[in-house]
Amino acid sequence: MLWNLYFSEDKESECESYGLRTFARSFSGWAQTSHRHLTEKFNDEFFEKIGRIIKNKGHYVSEYYYHFLAPTHNADDASIKKFEDLLAKTLADDPDNTSFIKMLKDSITVLQIK
């Protein structure tokens, strides 16, 4: 399953050899509206695992992970709270991670506007 491959901690996994374009092409299916019913079961897992990706992958790759895999299609209070909780955790645990903090704040703002 691709999701497990994306978030594998195995340094020998196929995903470790992906370049930026391979990630981008691979992730594009996750962002499609017609696939939401297939990908929604991974929403909570995203919030558990994205911090490690942000920390361990390069800046550009981690941005692709975030922007293509973040569950930003639901703009309800529960969904916004998940982003707010992750923001609070990141501010407490890693306040110097300004790029991740900005991405989270931007997502919260967009969801609130929706």
The pLDDT value recorded for residue 40 is 87
C-alpha angle 66-72-74 in degrees, rounded to nearest 5: 160
pLDDT at 63: 94
Per residue in 44-72, is it b (16+ CB within 10 Å) or e — as a string? eebeebbbebbeebeeebbbbbbebbbbb
Measured between alpha carbons, how far is 108 from 93 in angstroms, rounded to an integer?
Answer: 19
pLDDT in tens, the chain (114 residues): 788 889 988 888 888 888 889 988 888 877 678 878 888 889 999 999 999 999 988 899 999 999 999 998 888 899 999 999 999 999 999 999 999 999 999 999 999 998
Angle of helix 43-56 versus helix 59-69 axis, rounded to 10: 170
pLDDT value at position 26? 87
Extract the tokens encoding 91. 């501010």
The structure's pTM equals 0.87
Tokens for 53, please give them: 């990706």
Question: Which residue matches tokens 């991740």?
Answer: 100
Write down the pLDDT at residue 96. Answer: 95
pLDDT in tens, 4-18: 889 988 888 888 888
